[in-house]
Amino acid sequence: MEKKINLIVREIDKNLRVDVFINKKEKNISRTRIKNLILDQRLKLNNKVTVDPSKKISAGDILELIIPQPKKASLKPFKYKLDIIYEDEDLIVLNKPAGIVMHPGAGNLDNTIVNALINYDKNSLSNIGDELRPGIVHRIDKNTSGLVVIAKNNQTHENLSNQFTKHSIKRVYQLLIWGKVRPSKGKVETLISRSSSNRQMMEVSIKKGKKAITNYETVEIFENKNTPTLSLLECNLETGRTHQIRVHINYLGSSIVGDDKYKKKFKKIKNIEKDLEKLLVNLNRQFLHAKTLGFFHPRKKKEMIFSSILPQELEIILKKLRNTNK
């Protein structure tokens, strides 16, 4: 059954964006969802449909927001062993391996984390978002591993979405890059938009796009005559834009080991230790791992922080580098 929300703008709220105003009054609905509802022609402003989330409101304006009944997903279950590190009545924290996408999309409707969740428990997933993404609050790339949180009900989904919108979620990634970054520790703050030359890629932009903030720190540098120069970094995200870390590392003049999409051209390495070369050449994913995930639990009313160790295919590379570096 659809739900109607009726609001009247007071003097104190005039000149606010309409999506900001609704989010202010209806704190249980994430701003992202409000924006999508507006774009889907679900908002009437003074009895006229508006599709502009940024539209400024005036005192006395009358708003009616229609929230449709959630759709049930018609997705095939996928028999796949999920690495669940925490679960309660509200949410699941998963350790996602590289090589599997989060949700169905063009060319892959069945073999995804969502399909695996449907197989695990199809009746315990939020359904307020895209019908192809039940439970999905956020994503990590196909060839990235690590921690993601899944919502089992709509109230939890809205609460977690708001935390992501407000950038209060703790997210730390480990990555191995070619070369070194200077300075070795810092903050990258740019706009990120879709690439004008390749719509499947993102890029740093001067005038358009979404604000993206990445804090990075060099943890370890590997450098000797038998290895290429490589650096182990940790990145703490303040925002979560598409391909954010990969784009920002590229912006700093480097690229993540195994990242074919955002790779930089480097000199051919001579005299590299053969076993190490084989490990690097045969790595069929990017060396990027979502190591830490922290959030405020909606029901328990406390902060929860989870950690994940590097998967074996990445840990073995670090071990080899450390042994070669001695």
Q: Do domains 84-157 and 170-324 have the same CATH topology?
A: yes
CATH for 3-67? 3.10.290.10
The token duo for 175 is 């990555």
Question: What was the pLDDT predicted at 100?
Answer: 97
Task: Judge whether 69 and 54 are in contact, CB under 8 Å.
Answer: no
Distance from C-alpha of 302 to C-alpha of 13, rounded to nearest angstrom: 31
Question: What was the pLDDT predicted at 156?
Answer: 95
The token duo for 63 is 């708003």
pLDDT of the chain, 326 residues: tens digit per residue:
788 999 999 999 999 999 999 988 987 787 888 998 999 999 999 999 999 999 999 999 999 999 887 666 578 999 999 999 999 999 999 999 999 999 998 778 899 999 999 999 988 899 886 778 899 999 999 999 999 999 999 999 999 999 998 899 999 999 999 999 999 999 999 999 999 889 889 999 998 999 999 999 999 999 888 788 999 999 999 999 999 999 999 999 999 999 989 987 665 666 788 899 899 989 999 999 999 999 999 999 999 999 999 999 999 999 999 988 66
Active centre residues (catalytic): 141
Domain residue spans of the chain: 3-67, 84-157, 170-324
Report the topology of domain 84-157: Pseudouridine synthase (3.30.2350)
Please confirm whether the linkage preceding 183 is cis (ω < 30° from 0): yes
Distance from C-alpha of 263 to C-alpha of 13, rounded to nearest angstrom: 47
The token duo for 231 is 């650096």
Q: Give Cβ neighbours of residue 323 (< 8 Å, ≥ 6 apart).
A: none
Judging by DSSP bridges, how do beta strands 62-67 and 48-49 pair with one another?
unpaired
Ordered alpha helix ranges (H), the chain: 18-25, 31-39, 113-121, 154-165, 244-251, 274-281, 312-324
Question: What was the pLDDT predicted at 226?
Answer: 77
CATH second-level architecture of 170-324?
Answer: 2-Layer Sandwich (3.30)
Question: What was the pLDDT predicted at 26?
Answer: 86
Question: What was the pLDDT predicted at 91?
Answer: 97
DSSP string covering 70-118: PPPP----------EEEE-SSEEEEEEPTT-BSS-BTTBSSSBHHHHHH
Q: pTM score, two decimals? A: 0.83
Quick one: residue 301, left, alpha or beta (phi over 0 = left, psi -120 to 50 = alpha)?
Answer: left
